[in-house]
Amino acid sequence: MILPKDLMLGGELSVQGTHLGNLSSFQYHSNRLDLLSDRTDFEFDLNLLDCEVPSLEITDPLPTLNLDCQVPSPSGSYDHYSSSSDMMSPMMFSPGSTSSISSTTSAIKSSPIKSRPNPYQRVFSSLDSPFSPLVMSDSVKEFRQLQASVNVKIEPINQMKNDTPLLRQYLIQERIPVVDEDVKIEPVISMAVEQVKRDIQATCNLLCIGHDPCLWSKEDVARWIQWTMQHYGILAENPFDCDGSDLVKLTENDFLLRLPEGGDLLYAQMDIWRSSAEYNRSEMEQILPPPEQFVHSSGNEGYSSSSSSIKNESRFDISAVLDILDANSPSTNMYETNGCMSDTTLGSPCSMDGMNTSSVNSPSSICTSPPPPYSMAISQLNRNNAVNVVKPASNIPPEDEETDDTDDDDIAVKIPTIKTSTTNIHLWQFVKELLLHPDLYSGCIHWMDREKGIFKIVDSVKVATLWGKRKNRPAMNYDKLSRSLRQYYKKGIMKKTERSQRLVYQFCHPYHL
DNA sequence: GACAAGGAAGCGC
DNA sequence: GCGCTTCCTTGTC
């Protein structure tokens, strides 16, 4: 179940008269109910029950909220909502999942539960929950004792300094309790902001667009729209024929008018990007002296250009910092384990069965989104930061620097790649890149079943050649490339197709998304 | 012959 | 250590 984004929690949580702290969040997962307060985290295993889960009563100032959820049956499960998903991949719900949640709360009614990824959740997916869960599912008896009633008194969340819808959303979804004013909120804000930056940076790298939507060209907008729609499974033509400055002026209604199915999601994403850009601007204004002062203090006339250019360069300085953060992120490791992450860990590739955990998706019901396809690329940014400062993410692919005029180059040049990710890109990412540009590469590789991630290499020589150019391996051939692809079988990135077919490979969920 | 599958060693980061 | 790259063998089509 997804908490409506405008539902504010924070009131007292008591179970059978025992005060358990202030409720920060509650969630239904496929097999458990989580109640989270600022003191601890209660987890109930629904599989141990043959009865309905306890009802939650939320009293003033909000209307009563009655959640009447059925224990999952073998044929269905509750919508799954986990907090550890990886950023660059959409979190999905199991297509077969069902939910029987009824509510009398206006907030809930105004926010119908949809089997779609929550854009806010996706963005903030990679942060660890600050809670150490207290698992109480070992004993049915214990649960039955607690089952009697859970009374939640809701009190308005105190206004936070620097509060923004973005941060509030993060606090709620990442189970970070909203507390009294005297509690330090800065570290939490910092975490949220850094995570947003990291996610956005990754997307920028992937799409070769700037961080600030206001500065996007029409092409940038189209690229971002296409990418976002694809990741949210929105099947429609891009209805936005405008540049970034016009895009950011659109309201949610404007988005919905243009895109009734999914316009709200796109708007939410745009809102995040816009907020982040504004935050960056304010941050830069604090960090950077005025242009004139810059010139005076540094003596470098190179900085005497317009303030906008200075901001632009600074933006990439920040990227370098984010790269360092990214390099230290546990997300990569998460992918490599079993592909699934718990709610309290960072995203990993998981299954689309349960929405969940960041980063790309697997059959397990716990995980959710795929590992960020750009993680490696980002990790290289720091090393190549100098390049970035001079030439921010551009559409100039590595091939541009070569003098080779072969047809392959002509094609490769069109691929929007990032200089910094040129040689560190993973093969599966490269393959996806080709697959995502059927207009350019359908002649050598194409999807056979996009939903299942099955694709066919039509021209093995060309694909290998392109890969070799990207990796600066002139001796690359299909034999070597296919060997690398087969390595992905063990890693869970790809799998053998049901029926062995020549030159046909299949991505594991959710790497193809 | 082309390709699939996988072992093994090596390399660069 | 990871993610390939390279080389190799064996088997299938």
Closest protein CA to C1' of nucleotide B12, residue: A424
Secondary structure (H, E, C), A229-297: HHHCCCCCCCCCCCCHHHHCCCCHHHHHHHCCCCHHHHHHHHHHHHHHHHHHHHHHHHHCCCHHHHHHH
Q: What is the CATH number of the domain that holds A231?
A: 1.10.150.50
Closest protein CA to C1' of nucleotide C13, residue: A502
Give chain B positions with protein CB within 7 A.
Answer: 2-8, 13
Residue with tokens 């790309």: A360
User: How far apart are the two ends of chain A, measured CA to CA in Å?
Assistant: 22
**Per-residue model confidence (pLDDT) at position A198:** 66
CA of A486 to C1' of B7 (A): 13
Proximity of residue A231 CB to strand C below 7 A: no
Of A residues 492-511, those with CB within 7 angstroms of nucleic strand B are 496, 500, 502-504
- Report CA-CA distances (Å) from A301 to A6, A114, A292, A304: 49, 54, 10, 5
Domains in chain A: how many in total?
2
Q: Is residue A317 part of a domain?
A: no
Pairing of strands A18-28, A32-37: antiparallel
Looking at residue A486, its amino acid is R
Proximity of residue A483 CB to strand C below 7 A: yes
Reported as half-sphere exposure (CB side, CA atoms, 13 A), residue A304 has a value of: 8
CA of A457 to C1' of B3 (A): 12
Q: Is residue A269 part of a domain?
A: yes
Proximity of residue A380 CB to strand B below 7 A: yes
Nucleotide nearest to A380 (CA to C1'): B13
End position of a domain, from candidates A285, A305, A331: A285
Q: Is residue A171 part of a domain?
A: no
CA of A458 to C1' of B2 (A): 13
Proximity of residue A427 CB to strand C below 7 A: yes
Question: What's the token pair of residue A298?
Answer: 């540094």
Cβ atoms A189, A167 nearer than 8 A: yes
Neighbours of A343 (CB within 10 A): 26
Nucleotide nearest to A501 (CA to C1'): B4
**Per-residue model confidence (pLDDT) at position A165:** 45
Q: Is residue A122 part of a domain?
A: no
**Per-residue model confidence (pLDDT) at position A4:** 30
Cβ atoms A355, A92 nearer than 8 A: yes
Pairing of strands A150-153, A18-28: unpaired
CA of A467 to C1' of B11 (A): 18
Which helix (H) or strand (E) covers residue A311, if one does?
helix A307-327
Q: Is residue A228 part of a domain?
A: yes
CA of A336 to C1' of C8 (A): 28
DSSP A83-97: S---TTS-----TT-
Q: What range does the domain containing A483 cover? A: 427-507
CA of A491 to C1' of C3 (A): 11
CA of A385 to C1' of C2 (A): 23
**Per-residue model confidence (pLDDT) at position A356:** 32
Question: What's the token pair of residue A118?
Answer: 């929550």
Q: Looking at chain A, how many residues does it have?
A: 513
Neighbours of A511 (CB within 10 A): 28
Nucleotide nearest to A457 (CA to C1'): B3
Nucleotide nearest to A500 (CA to C1'): B4
Closest protein CA to C1' of nucleotide C4, residue: A484
Proximity of residue A483 CB to strand B below 7 A: yes
**Per-residue model confidence (pLDDT) at position A317:** 34
End position of a domain, from candidates A236, A251, A285: A285
Q: Is residue A4 part of a domain?
A: no
Q: What is the CATH number of the domain that holds A492?
A: 1.10.10.10
CA of A490 to C1' of C8 (A): 20
Of A residues 387-446, those with CB within 7 angstroms of nucleic strand B are 424
CA of A500 to C1' of C12 (A): 11
Closest protein CA to C1' of nucleotide C7, residue: A480
Q: Is residue A271 part of a domain?
A: yes
Q: Tell me the pLDDT of chain A (513 aa) as tens digits.
A: 223 332 334 555 544 455 555 555 555 444 444 555 555 555 544 443 333 333 333 333 332 223 333 323 223 322 222 222 222 222 222 222 222 222 222 222 222 222 333 323 222 222 223 222 222 233 334 434 444 434 333 333 333 333 444 444 444 444 444 443 333 444 444 555 666 666 677 677 677 777 788 888 888 888 888 878 876 777 778 888 888 888 888 888 888 888 887 787 788 778 778 777 776 666 555 444 333 333 333 333 333 333 333 333 333 333 333 333 333 333 333 333 333 333 323 233 333 332 333 333 333 322 333 333 333 333 333 333 333 332 333 333 333 333 333 444 443 333 333 333 456 788 888 888 888 888 788 888 888 888 888 888 888 888 888 888 888 888 888 988 998 998 888 888 888 887 778 888 888 876 776
CA of A396 to C1' of B2 (A): 35
Cβ atoms A237, A126 nearer than 8 A: no
Nucleotide nearest to A482 (CA to C1'): B4
Residue A180: CB partners within 8 Å, gap ≥ 6?
A158
Q: Is the C-alpha dihedral spanning A120, A197, A394, A255 positive or negative?
A: positive
Q: Is residue A79 part of a domain?
A: no
Give chain C positions with protein CB within 7 A.
Answer: 2-8
End position of a domain, from candidates A285, A316, A341: A285
